[in-house]
């Protein structure tokens, strides 16, 4: 009888622990989805200081052309104000381990009039739709964006 009672208590504790971990993972996922959206918002509003707080010191990116970018380049992009508006949709989060999570989402981008004009002068176009992947890592108790890749989506009709 004591063994059965001990086994029941152990199973209850394990179930509670698993539920707590699942709730923590869901909370992290929602928090990081919000942070991924905040990255776009910071670029849109030219909030380089806010963006600075979201990026890891060793942040790297890969843009739509496959070129690598640095933290300073990302901050410079925010200061330039090339993003007029965006739509953030279909976010998903995948935990990699306790200290890293991947957030992917779709976005529709509207460039500023200045950016559109500069591209037109160079006879270039900019895709409107992207699939974005953000790698978030926990550093010192806070989540920081370590890597981002933006892939243009070609709309097929």
Identify whether 137 is part of a domain: yes
pTM: 0.80
Amino acid 157: pLDDT: 67
Q: Say if 47 falls within a structural domain.
A: yes
DSSP one-letter string for 2-48? HHHHHHHHHHHHHHHHHHHHHHHHHHHHHHHHHHHHHHHHHHHTT-H
Q: Is position 51 within any domain? A: yes
Note the pLDDT of residue 127: 86
Contacts of 37 (CB under 8 A, 6+ apart): 88, 91, 105
In a domain? residue 1: no
Q: Does 4 reside within a domain?
A: no
Q: How many domains does the chain have?
A: 1
In a domain, 9, yes or no: no
Q: Residue 139 belongs to what domain range? A: 29-152
Residue 19 lies in a domain: no
Reported as a single tens digit per residue, the pLDDT across 81-134 is 889 999 999 999 999 999 999 999 999 999 988 888 888 888 887 889 999 999
> Residue 66, by phi and psi: left (phi above 0), alpha (psi -120 to 50) or beta?
left
pLDDT tens digits, 9-34: 434 433 433 343 344 578 999 999 99
CATH number at residue 123: 3.10.450.50
């Amino acid at each position: 009888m004591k063994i059965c009672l001990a086994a029941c208590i152990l199973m209850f504790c394990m179930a509670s622990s698993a539920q707590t971990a699942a709730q923590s993972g869901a909370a992290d996922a929602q928090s990081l989805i919000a942070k991924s959206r905040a990255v776009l918002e910071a670029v849109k509003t030219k909030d380089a200081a806010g963006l600075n707080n979201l990026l890891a010191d060793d942040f790297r990116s890969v843009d739509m052309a496959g070129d690598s970018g640095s933290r300073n380049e990302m901050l410079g992009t925010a200061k330039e104000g090339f993003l007029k508006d965006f739509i953030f949709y279909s976010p998903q989060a995948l935990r990699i381990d306790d200290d890293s999570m991947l957030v992917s989402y779709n976005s529709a981008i509207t460039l500023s009039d200045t950016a559109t004009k500069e591209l037109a002068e160079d006879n270039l176009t900019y895709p409107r739709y992207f699939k974005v992947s953000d790698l978030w890592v926990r550093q010192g108790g806070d989540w920081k964006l370590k890597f981002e890749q933006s892939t243009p989506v070609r709309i097929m009709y």
